[in-house]
Amino acid sequence: MGSPTRPPSELLTIYVPVLLISLSACAAAFSMNAVYTFMPSFLQDAHHLSEGEAGVLTGVAFAATMLGQLAGGFLSDGLANRVTGVRPLLVAVAYLLAAPAVLAMAYVPAAMLVVGAYAVTQVGRGFAEPNLYGTVMDVVPSHARGSAQGFLLFLTFAGSTAGPWIAGIAQDVRYDSPGHRFVAEHVPLMDRILGHTVYTGMFQLLAGAVSTACAAALFVYLRTRRRA
């Protein structure tokens, strides 16, 4: 992603944005793919839908991604020439606003509310995606964009692979395990907190927080670089 003869200061203007936006994409893919993988089984187990109903509703809600992609692309193009770093800012905002919907999926009582919350997360995902790739287009010279996009996609698919794997492990966490009991008994207040924790949702929220933080950090970096 850049010639070795370039000065270090110029290389940083390429590497730092690409690394931050790629880490943001990785964390987001971790969260969203875990949700998508286990959504049908969650609807069946927790809300007693049939296999067909769960699959259809998951697919319908996933289609909300398309609305977010169009809105995110059009809005960022409209603001790009007026607000420095607006694309990573929109990534951060999209994932931040989707976080309550991820949490709601674990706790709302009705299946259709779960599906609605899932659709909201997919709007956020779609809204962020054109801004992830648009950020690379903005900050990387044309001769290095293939390498930069390849690195972003590498980390995106790494997150997509790890998300369902970690979520699958979290599915088997039991509140009566020895480790769980030890923490609940010896750490103040943890007996109440752990008794109400949905571990899959917790990992997804943590991943969303990492994604938001990386995108927000890139926004600050681009703004600071412009003033320098």
User: pLDDT tens-digit profile of 138-153?
Assistant: 989 888 899 999 999 9
> At the topology level of CATH, where does 10-169+199-227 sit?
Growth Hormone; Chain: A; (1.20.1250)
Beta carbons within 8 Å of 166's beta carbon, 6+ residues apart: 30, 34, 203
Report the percent of the chain where pLDDT is more than 90.
51
Q: What is the pTM of this model?
A: 0.82
Q: How many CB atoms lie within 10 A of CB 88?
A: 29
Q: How many CB atoms lie within 10 A of CB 13?
A: 17
What is the rounded distance in angstroms from the CA atom of residue 47 to the CA atom of residue 225?
50
Rounded to an integer, the average pLDDT of 47-66 is: 94
Beta carbons within 8 Å of 173's beta carbon, 6+ residues apart: 180, 199
Q: Reply yes or no on whether the pLDDT at 56 is more than 90.
A: yes
User: pLDDT tens-digit profile of 4-51?
Assistant: 555 555 555 678 899 999 999 999 999 888 888 888 988 988 899 999
Contact assessment for residue 190 and residue 182, using Cβ atoms and an 8 Å cutoff: no
Contact assessment for residue 200 and residue 167, using Cβ atoms and an 8 Å cutoff: yes
**Lowest mean pLDDT: which of 54-58, 65-69, 80-84, 156-160?**
80-84
Q: How many CB atoms lie within 10 A of CB 71?
A: 16
Rounded to an integer, the average pLDDT of 63-67 is: 95
Annotated domain spans of the chain: 10-169+199-227
